Amino acid sequence: MHMADALITPAVGGVMMAVSAGAIGYSVKKVKEELDDKKVPLMGVMGAFVFAGQMINFTIPATGSSGHIGGGLLLAALLGPYAAFLVISAVLVIQALFFADGGLLALGCNIFNLGFFACFIAYPFIYKQIINKSFTPKRITIGAIIAVIAGLQLGAFSVVLQTLISGITELPFASFALLMQPIHLAIGLIEGIATAAVLCFVLKSSPTLLDGNVTVEGESTNMRKKTVTILLIAALIIGGFVSWFASGYPDGLEWSMERVAGTAELEAEGSTYHAAAGIQENTAFLPDYGFKDGGESSALAGTSVSGMIGGGITLSVACLAGFIITRFRKKVKCNECQS
């Protein structure tokens, strides 16, 4: 559900960039107050995991469409909503800059649509209410599925509203919404099941990693490290190998656009669009998760390299952000104690 620049006007893109930047700033402030040191490695690993997971488009049966995980709810359930929002923002920035996945002008929209609703609406008001401090596989599964679907439905409708406000006449509101909502309902169901599977694994192997102050007697640091290591290995395997088998069908957004406008790639003219495209062309060293000017023979290798490098960059950026935030917090507390 990564929007391209042609789906919005520069004004809408600018407003949404400001809104998302504000949410990022507020999240940094909250994370400084509550981030646990043991969550910092998990931030990096789960960032890499979500980056890899978003490369895997799964087919939606009988539709000719595909979808991929958003990952916001999964991140929130492990890291809390504020750290999760920072990580999903990092994933989307890295995708846009280095892989040309999603428009640069539309980056604020993509962060809001994929991150805000999952982290700040679906997680606290649906998932946590269903869990109700009772972490069982049944509650986690029900909560994850319902919350993921709700978050994705809100995100999909937000895409429709953003194109409406932008005056994209090729995508009439009613027709576009009537396609976007049902297809993302199906995508959300599959993502919800996948999210529940990961969370149930963490519940069984190292429940203290779950957000919500789960306490378990006898859980060791080695158990937590083992679980994080398994998730990291899974991210590497998904990004480096499983990504070869991603569906070739258009994703839910592209599928909806094709049926409404007859094409998944709208054209937009103007200096702002050209400038944004020019920046991406210079920064994206693996556009569309492949080598520049690479042929079909190198497509699989390009996908593997993209998955490994993208996961590595995300891991590094998320860990570095967490490390800086926790060190800053400790420094402030130390100064307060001395004064």
Mean pLDDT of 17-37: 92
pLDDT of residue 116: 98
At 252-279, the pLDDT tens digits run: 999 999 999 999 999 999 999 999 999 9
Report the percentage of the chain scoring pLDDT > 90: 84
CA 238 to CA 225: how far, in whole Å?
A: 20
DSSP category for residue 123: I
Exposed (0-12), middle (13-18) or buried (19+): which is 270, by Cβ within 10 Å?
exposed
Q: How far is the CA of 299 from the CAs of 90, 150, 243, 287, in angstroms?
A: 25, 35, 11, 12
pLDDT of residue 328: 78
The domain total for the chain is: 1
pLDDT of residue 266: 95
* 160 within 8 A of 173, measured Cβ to Cβ: yes
Place of tokens 């976007």: 180
Q: How far is the CA of 51 from the CAs of 95, 179, 223, in angstroms?
A: 8, 26, 24
What CATH number did the domain enclosing 158 receive? 1.10.1760.20
Check whether 205 has a pLDDT greater than 70: yes
* 247 within 8 A of 59, measured Cβ to Cβ: yes
Exposed (0-12), middle (13-18) or buried (19+): which is 222, by Cβ within 10 Å?
exposed
* Residue type at position 278: G
CA 332 to CA 58: how far, in whole Å?
A: 46
At 135-157, the pLDDT tens digits run: 999 999 999 999 999 999 999 99
Mean pLDDT over all residues of the chain?
93
CA 285 to CA 287: how far, in whole Å?
A: 6
- Show the domain range for 24: 5-338
Cβ atoms within 10 Å of 36's Cβ, excluding its own: 14
pLDDT of residue 140: 97
Check whether 336 has a pLDDT greater than 80: no
Query: What phi and psi, each to the nearest 5 degrees, are found at residue 60?
Result: -95, 110
- pTM for the whole structure: 0.95
pLDDT band at 335 (very low <50, low <70, confident <90, very high): low
Cα maximum dimension of the chain: 67
Candidates 333, 309, 314; CA nearest to 42 is: 314
Tokens representing residue 262 in the block: 């007859």
Radius of gyration of the chain (CA): 20
pLDDT band at 57 (very low <50, low <70, confident <90, very high): very high
pLDDT of residue 332: 63
At 93-122, the pLDDT tens digits run: 999 999 999 999 999 999 999 999 999 999
